[in-house]
Amino acid sequence: MATAVLLRSLRRREVSSAPISAFKTLTGNTKPSWSLSNKWAGLARPFSTKPAGNDVIGIDLGTTNSCVAVMEGKNPKVIENSEGARTTPSVVAFSQKGELLVGTPAKRQAVTNPTNTLFGTKRLIGRRFDDPQTQKEMKMVPFKIVRAPNGDAWLEANGQQYSPSQIGAFVLTKMKETAEAYLGKSVNKAVITVPAYFNDAQRQATKDAGKIAGLDVQRIINEPTAAALSYGLNNKEGLVAVFDLGGGTFDISILEISNGVFEVKATNGDTFLGGEDFDNALLEFLVSEFKRTEGIDLSKDKLALQRLREAGEKAKIELSSTSQTEINLPFITADASGAKHLNITLTRSKFEALVNHLIERTKAPCKSCLKDAGISIKEVDEVLLVGGMTRVPKVQEVVAEIFGKSPSKGVNPDEAVAMG
């Protein structure tokens, strides 16, 4: 009892800059997370001093970005974080000074601290270390992916090991505190969304992440169902296709809506197809172009690769609204002749050619999903777009081609799931 009172008296610290010592119980040097998740629920963060509230928040724990929303009356509201943004990068970093960084602060320092900056970890939730996709991911990221005592894929940073659930918990804590700052009271109830194809192990790992963050997870719901709700389709009848291409995963779901009840008729997808893969394709192109023009291979230079990765991501976003963009990276490296600079003009058509094989990979799951649902393309009443990658014009073209109709664009694809 005395311990509980003492903990409640502690002022909570900002999750974007908390000493790692505050999270000692979350390191891989302790017992594995799969046996201690309940204990960690009370240890992951100091208790909030805000008055207790009964609000239930909705959290979209994404591969690239996460989002939190709350009901205000009958309308959902997406809450801005402490940086003023409506989405928070799902990035966690451990600085050399012993600080834990989450979100924008973590992403900002990735160039100078690539080996201790963890991103895209949702792809590893519930995955085994020996999984071929895990082995593929290990070759594409600057941080270490290691084998856990139980054979799962874990992450290593600053000499400590963390499960993907623990990293997810740091992001969830940031979302929890974002909601608390807006509401002015503590929040401990949440609904968290997951891809429709997540298996039981992945769903449980997501629930564990919520417990570690101090959240009572009321329900784990499917992202396509949440997206359909955000489009206001609960008052409609018919068949809806939800095309969700996010930062790390792609899934397609066919929902039947009848009397306000959502039934998932079929779902399909690719757990390793998303914005990260588009970024990797651009990264490989930039490395090969620089080697061709300068004769220098940047593939082993982690600092240069991180700069290229960020520049490629920025170019990808710009090309959704413009026909070409410039990638300028001064002092990317140096040799005996002096400093070297990278300057490349990237057109939308060139970008589309680089990622066309990835976009093409969305077609087969869509066809399989329609077949599994036992319906034809003509029977689909509406197509919804979810996930930031659906902003790419070529992706929208392919969706229209697959389903024979233009997709709905009435809701921000980055916020649709959290609002639902």
99 is catalytic: no
350 is catalytic: no
Task: Please check whether residue 417 is in contact with residue 226, taking contact to mean a CB–CB distance below 8 angstroms.
Answer: yes
Give the DSSP letter of residue 239. E
**In Å, what is the CA distance from 192 to each residue of 36, 70, 73, 183?**
20, 12, 20, 19
Q: Which of 295, 292, 293, 329 is nearest to 310 (CA)?
A: 329
Length of the chain: 420
Task: Please check whether residue 276 is in contact with residue 293, taking contact to mean a CB–CB distance below 8 angstroms.
Answer: no
Distance CA(322)–CA(1), nearest Å, equals: 61
Distance CA(409)–CA(420), nearest Å, equals: 15
What kind and span of H or E run contains 72?
strand 65-72
The string of DSSP codes covering 88-103 is EE-EEEE-TTSEEEES
Give the DSSP letter of residue 297. -
Distance CA(76)–CA(274), nearest Å, equals: 27
Per the residue annotation, which of 180, 208, 244, 313 is the catalytic one? 244
Residue listed under structure tokens 């073209």: 397
Give the DSSP letter of residue 116. G
Task: Please check whether residue 320 is in contact with residue 391, taking contact to mean a CB–CB distance below 8 angstroms.
Answer: yes
Distance CA(386)–CA(389), nearest Å, equals: 8
Per the residue annotation, which of 177, 208, 223, 415 is the catalytic one? 223
Q: Strand ranges (DSSP E) for 195-349?
A: 216-222, 238-245, 250-258, 261-270, 324-335, 338-347
Helices 275-294 and 348-360: crossing angle in degrees, nearest 10, is: 130
Q: Structure tokens of 79?
A: 């809450």
156 is catalytic: no
130 is catalytic: no
- What positions carry a catalytic annotation? 60, 122, 223, 244
